[in-house]
Structure 1
Amino acid sequence: MAQTGGAEAPLIIAPDPGNSRLTRAVTGTDQSGAAREIRVVEERPLTIYLNSQEIVTAMTIGDYPGYLAVGYLANQGMLLASDTLTGVDYDEELETVVVRTARATDYEDKLKRKTRTSGCAVGTVFGDMMEGLEGLTLPPAELRTSALYALAHRINTMPSLYLEAGAIHGTVLCEGDRPLVYMEDVGRHNAVDKIAGWMRMEGVPAADKLLYTTGRLTSEMVIKTALMGIPVLASRSGFTAWGVEIARQVGLTLIGRMRGERFICLSGEERLLRDADPATAPREPRRAGRKGAEE
């Protein structure tokens, strides 16, 4: 996870705050009673099928439905690493996406065991999701704190739906000091599933990557990152105790509360190379200029 020297290189996929399909103008009144128009994030249902079986309906902003479906199925253990994808078909009118595989699938019993999680929107986790962690070994990697500071500064200052409208989470796939793919959605689980789907469909390796999220470092976020084979998960937000416990169990480097020069590492400290003076880290930008409602 060495520095790439391409910190200012363009992202492969970047947020698209100018996409009128993702937000809507709504007029209300402010604290003084004056009329005010703001942009609010759209929320649409997307029903995911695996072959002929309906799996879940997720609430999403509606971009990259194919990546979301493939990533969701992979992270739930329904789409195996050995599976051959024969099609990913999205029907915008019906708001459905069908993922087709060469292998015949039937997950009726698995669907009966799903449980509600603490995630935003409709995050769900299945009772046997933890089974995928048994015997899992994450790759060794080196994370320079100089790269970590550079990533956080660039991610937090680039145009995004969060800065435009709020009420949304972002997840960014990074390599060295370079953000590669930045996905946003109403639920952080959707955002990370989109990245998982992109990696699966594009054949992108995970061993040298870092995942950055704006959301809480919960058990499900840790599990999904580990199942993707990514050795480092970082966030500007905080932790849950079970998230920390699982990260330590699987050897995931877990970094949270990243604000300016400050951060806390609660797992996987051995991957950190402290090559930067925290006093020289770029300062966190003020959020007062954000146009939308509070997240």
Structure 2
Amino acid sequence: MPNRDSAYLIAPSPARDGLTRGVTGVDHRGETQDIRVVEERPLTIFLNSREIVTAMTIGDYPDYLALGFLRNQAMLSDADEVTGIEYDEELGVVVVRTAVETDHEEKLAKKTRTSGCAVGTVFGDMMEELEGLTLPDAQVKTSDLYALAATINTTPSLYLEAGAIHGTVLCQGARPLVYMEDVGRHNAVDKVAGWMQAEGASAADKTLYTTGRLTSEMVMKCALMGIPVLASRSGFTAWGVELAQQVGLTLIGRMRGQRFMCLSGADRLVWDADPSAVADDPKRARRKSAT
């Protein structure tokens, strides 16, 4: 069952069975330590009778992952009627069924590997989907950015439990709504997209927060989901910035403590918070005190 609390519609479930495993190792002092490590397992996604991709995933929310992956790769459109999603845990297979059979041989032939970890797969014609796309002109309050970072970074999660994981959070204003984690940041985004598709959630007033790098594929997925703001603790790639500027996506990275950097859509920022009133990042504070 999803972990739900007053802040989130879906929050991480670090104690959920099967997501981590206990192992014993030796630390830098030669002492024995018991730690938790993240599980990963293959999940094969089918669209009707056609096998599409096998992704390495932690195994939670396979229905949202499959639905979001297909939607983000433009293999499902708003016009396609999804009649069912079937998951076989033993086989590690999820099948998304539509009312009308689809044919994606050409799309599969244009499949390319991206810079993402785990199975980050992007299809060549995703770029075509961006042509003519314009995102909503949504304002972003800096007070909301600080509030989101404070909440998300202190939420109990698999990252805090075991590391080796990425998180993606769908947010509205200062409130984080849906927090998904996976071994690949692309999988985490696809789970959010799948939830939005299943729930019919609007995108125009949302922010997508990710713990991973702001790469070209992350920008493309966010834009194709219709979300006008993408933010991260991590940094940027040049192509990611270029694509964000092309489609009018507000792109904010290096969000740590008092600091952030906006490389696209800075004119949409509403400067309603005093950075000096925000707690600085502890690591940065330690570095400053050491100099």
Q: TM-score, normalised by structure 1?
A: 0.93
Counterpart of 1:67, as a letter, is Y
Matched with 2:143 is 146
**Residue in structure 1 matched with residue 117 of structure 2 by the alignment:** 120
Give the Cα separation in 1 of the matches to 2:155 and 2:96.
Answer: 32
Number of matched pairs? 280
1:106 aligns with 2:89: no
Does 2:161 correspond to 1:164?
yes
**Larger RCO: Structure 1 or Structure 2 (Cα < 8 Å, ≥ 6 residues apart)?**
1
Specify the alignment match of 1:42 in structure 2.
Answer: 39
Indicate the SS of the match to 1:18: coil
Question: Please, which runs of 5 or more residues in structure 1 have no aligned partner?
Answer: 1-7, 288-295
**Is the contact made by 1:153 and 1:284 (CA closer than 8 Å) also made in structure 2?**
no
Q: 1:200 aligns with which of 190, 197, 201?
A: 197
Cα distance in structure 1, aligned partners of 2:283 and 2:154: 10
1:211 aligns with 2:199: no
Contact map agreement 1:43 1:59 (CA 8 A) in 2: yes
Q: Please state how far the C-alpha of 1:167 moved relative to its aligned partner.
A: 0.2
Is the counterpart of residue 224 in structure 1 residue 225 in structure 2? no
Partner residue in 2 for 1:242: 239
Query: Counterpart of 1:71?
Result: 68
- Partner residue in 2 for 1:93: 90
Higher deviation after alignment, 166-175 or 124-133? 124-133
Task: Assess if the C-alpha contact under 8 Å between 1:157 and 1:285 holds in 2.
Answer: no
Q: Distance in 1 between matches of 2:101 and 2:28?
A: 57
Take 2:240 and 2:70, find their aligned partners in 1: how far apart are those partners?
A: 21
SS in 1 for 2:116: coil
CA apart distance, 1:286 = 6.3
Deviation digits for residues 128-180 of structure 1 (CA, Å, limit 9, x no counterpart):
11111011110111110001100001100110000000000000000000000
Displacement of 1:284 after TM fit? 3.4
Q: Look up the match of 2:28.
A: 31
Residues 234-292 of structure 1 show CA distances to partners (whole Å, capped at 9, x for unaligned) of 000000000000000000000000010100000011211000011112343669xxxxx
Q: Match of 1:121, SS? A: coil
Question: What letter corresponds to residue 77 of structure 2 in structure 1?
Answer: L
Deviations 1:87-128 (A, max 9, x none): 011010110000011121011121111111000101011111
In structure 2, how many angstroms separate the alpha carbons of the residues matched to 1:136 and 1:47?
31
* C-alpha separation in 2, matches of 1:63 and 1:284: 31
Q: Which segments of structure 1 move beyond 3 Å, counting only runs of 4 or more?
A: 282-287
1:28-67 CA-partner distances (Å, limit 9, x unpaired): 1111221111100000100000000000000000000000
Provide structure 2 residue ranges, at least 5 long, that are not aligned to the other structure. 285-291
Residue number in structure 2 paired with 1:291: none
Cross-structure match for 2:13: 16
Say what the alpha-carbon RMSD is for the aligned residues: 1.3
User: Which stretch of the first structure deviates more once superposed, 191-200 or 136-145?
Assistant: 136-145
Corresponding letter in the other structure for 1:238: G
AA matched with 2:52: I
1:258 match: 255
* 8 Å CA contact 1:9, 1:178 repeated in 2: no
SS at match of 2:45: strand
Amino acid at match of 2:143: S
For residues 264 and 254 of structure 1, the distance between their equivalents in structure 2, rounded to whole angstroms, comes to 8
Matched, 1:54 2:51: yes
Q: Distance in 1 between matches of 2:280 and 2:194?
A: 33
